[in-house]
Amino acid sequence: MTQTIQESNDARLRHVVSSTADRHVPISPFSGEVISGVDLSSIDDVAVAVQRARIAQEQWVSTSWAKRSAIFAKYHDLVLDRQDEILDVIQRETGKARGQAMEEIFHVAMNAIYLAHNGKKILATDKRPGLFPILTSTHVHQVPKGVVGVITPWNYPFTLAISDALAALFAGNTVVIKPDLQTMWSAIVAVDLLVEAGLPEGAATIVVGDGVTMGTALIDAVDYVCFTGSTATGRVVGARAASRLVGASLELGGKNPMIVLEDADLNKAMDICVHACFTSAGQLCVSTERIYVARTIYDTFIQQLISRVSGLRLEARLGWGYDVGSMTTAAQLDRTAASVARAVEQGAQVLVGGRKRPDIGPLVFEPTILADVSPDADIARQEVFGPVVFVTPFDTVDEAIDSANDTPYGLSASVITRDTSRGRAISKKIRSGSVSINEGFGATFGSVSSPMGGMGDSGLGRRHGPEGVLRFTEPQTISVQRLVTVGPQFGLSDAQWVRWMTRALKALKTLRIR
């Protein structure tokens, strides 16, 4: 079995462009789990990968809509059918619980079939009103950018490596993906299955290396940049792309709030909170890190949440059967522990959790609930990116909304209430790209036909839906003019032409709105 897996991995390495003998071997968060090493790419390899993608794009862009849809539909099936193998890869690289790793597979499958069913319509040529009725025919075409660079983090390595790439590919681009060094195999498997589904070799390639070197080289070579990661790095990426007049979409950090109203179903709220706060050990951009609870139910809410979180099963191993897994890197574990320690120094109280658990796994941190967090505390405004949430009571809804908006971020938020009309009204006042009512983040993130992205320091651009596809194209307007030209003719002077056009525009007002 081991030899078969190694042979499969060796075959998959054809998708990685690397000419060096420098091998990087990631360390699994699971004790005793081995992750195969991959030879690092060089700056010259980035140029090779992009050139290979440019050649492949000449073929891919002429592929029919029907063929693209068939490939994506087959990919949907392959991802679901090979889920056990993919889950093993994701778990070994990230340490997350298997059920939460499965969310990545569902997300990729949903994106693939959404594009298979809707991509042609999204990208279809659009007929627009022309300058002169009948005499001017105007159409807007969506032209692919060319080669898209996709730079992805370690926390959701399968879906973030390929879901944005799917949208870019369906739009007629080719892609070069630079995954995080910790999670290279999730990206490699994702591309390998897509090629198995029918994508031409070279249309999606991978380069591996550190972000500063490889990421910069990729930004300097491609026609569009799709980045997911921290806000600090996103600023650098955006500036680098802008210096070349190359577009970029940036899905960055968040300090995501949840507002729990006095009429909330608390049993349901517990399920929502546990999933929203502790999925993937809190290592996701849309994780809830702040909960504001109506004071009238605060004590009951806290007691129930402590009870629920205290009962979560923590493990660090391959397979099913536990609720919260490991953190992915030692650096993130230390950052989380330091954030909690700093919060306590600034007056916070640890209600449950708050400790590293090396007895369970080398990178396990307990799901943590904090109280008495001052609005001025570091943890009130700075992203932790770990299994840590603080809970604060509020007296009025306006106070809760102000607290929710008291951050430079604006990625995801949620409102828990039985009165969904009231929930919608409150949601509209929260400065956030996505707001889920009676859900943490799954309702909005899983609605792949609708745009997902951030406001403020949470980034630029959107993934999902038509917006997530059209970011990878340039609109091109083509007009055909018949019989008359634009400008004075038939012997008219400039003054006569102006008077004629004035009367024509007034007449057109009664026919349609221009």
Separation between Cα atoms, residue 450 and residue 167, nearest integer Å: 13
Known catalytic membership, residue 467: no
Identify whether the C-beta of residue 109 lies closer than 8 Å to the C-beta of residue 81: no
Q: Given CA atoms 94, 45, 75, 54 in this order, what sign does their dihedral have?
A: positive
Structure-token match 């040529």, residue found:
125
Check residue 7 and give its pLDDT.
52
Q: How many angstroms from the chain centroid is the CA of residue 27?
A: 24
Separation between Cα atoms, residue 39 and residue 11, nearest integer Å: 14
Which residues, 6 or more positions from 242, have their beta carbon under 8 angstroms from its beta carbon?
248
Separation between Cα atoms, residue 162 and residue 169, nearest integer Å: 10
Check residue 508 and give its pLDDT.
80
Separation between Cα atoms, residue 386 and residue 339, nearest integer Å: 9
Separation between Cα atoms, residue 284 and residue 394, nearest integer Å: 26
Separation between Cα atoms, residue 115 and residue 121, nearest integer Å: 9
Check residue 512 and give its pLDDT.
60
Active-site residue, selected from the candidate residues 103, 104, 251, 439: 251
Q: Given CA atoms 13, 17, 22, 25 in this order, what sign does their dihedral have?
A: negative
Separation between Cα atoms, residue 158 and residue 321, nearest integer Å: 21
Q: Are strands 349-352 and 224-228 parallel, antiparallel or unpaired?
A: unpaired
What does residue 255 show for φ and ψ, rounded to 5 degrees? -130, 75
SS3 435: strand
Tokens for 39, please give them: 């030879």
SS3 264: coil
In DSSP terms, 233 is beta-bridged to none
Known catalytic membership, residue 103: no
Which residues, 6 or more positions from 352, have their beta carbon under 8 angstroms from its beta carbon?
306, 309, 310, 366, 367, 368, 369
Tokens for 305, please give them: 């949440």
Check residue 248 and give its pLDDT.
98
**CA contacts within 13 A on the Cβ side of 58:** 5
pLDDT tens digit at each of 514 positions of the chain? 344 445 568 889 999 999 999 999 999 999 999 899 999 999 999 999 999 999 999 999 999 999 999 999 999 999 999 999 999 999 999 999 999 999 999 999 999 999 999 999 999 999 999 988 889 999 999 999 999 999 999 999 999 999 999 999 999 999 999 999 999 999 999 999 999 999 999 999 999 999 999 999 999 999 999 999 999 999 999 999 999 999 999 999 999 999 999 999 999 999 999 999 999 999 999 999 999 999 999 999 999 999 999 999 999 999 999 999 999 999 999 999 999 999 999 999 999 999 999 999 999 999 999 999 999 999 999 999 999 999 999 999 999 999 999 999 999 999 999 999 999 999 999 999 999 999 999 999 999 999 999 999 999 999 999 999 999 999 999 999 999 888 888 889 999 999 988 998 888 887 765 4
Tokens for 400, please give them: 């809760």
Active-site residue, selected from the candidate residues 226, 285, 289, 383: 285
Identify whether the C-beta of residue 292 lies closer than 8 Å to the C-beta of residue 257: yes
Separation between Cα atoms, residue 124 and residue 38, nearest integer Å: 40
Separation between Cα atoms, residue 179 and residue 187, nearest integer Å: 7
Structure-token match 């992203």, residue found:
383
